[in-house]
Chain A
Amino acid sequence: EPEVTQTPSHQVTQMGQEVILRCVPISNHLYFYWYRQILGQKVEFLVSFYNNEISEKSEIFDDQFSVERPDGSNFTLKIRSTKLEDSAMYFCASSDRGQIGELFFGEGSRLTVL
């Protein structure tokens, strides 16, 4: 069964460092997303991406965050200068037909900022 894969599974970083989280969506999918879940809290929408541009972003997705699809297969989330409160599980997701197709989540990347 095709799946969304994410790397790294866990990253520990110092506050102020840049972090890049990588995702390989399902190959024929066109819509890509990042969500995050702070420990013990709900899953929150960060950003959606379609046709090589951001479709929508939440209030959480400020100037410290950026997304990119550099090579047609990877979909990355960059956090420029990490803060303690960025510690969370970050989930990548993709769908083939936007809201009509099923949304598939990756297993997540756990980010710990010290």
Chain B
Amino acid sequence: DGGITQSPKYLFRKEGQNVTLSCEQNLNHDAMYWYRQDPGQGLRLIYYSQIVNDFQKGDIAEGYSVSREKKESFPLTVTSAQKNPTAFYLCASTKAGQNQPQHFGDGTRLSIL
């Protein structure tokens, strides 16, 4: 079955450490997205990529970095510059074209040690 796989499900970060969250999709979707979800708030966009080797900052990109070397993969690195990284991180993808629904993975919960 096609879908979006995020790993790990839980991740702990130490002070000053960078951590990388994995997102893989086998839906043959062109565009991929990273969101952050905090309690009581709507999902906020961190980065998005419409094609391989190209990505754009979303609304809250500071302290995060991404790469898009393959169509199927869009890893997110939470750097030590992100001072409040504790959150639920969601990866999504869409087909090419306007007004397409985004389909989500099951998320990674990141906590501080």
Q: Do A and B bind each other?
A: no
Q: What residues make up the interface of B, taking CB atoms closer than 8 Å to A?
A: none
Interface positions of A (Cβ within 8 A of B): none
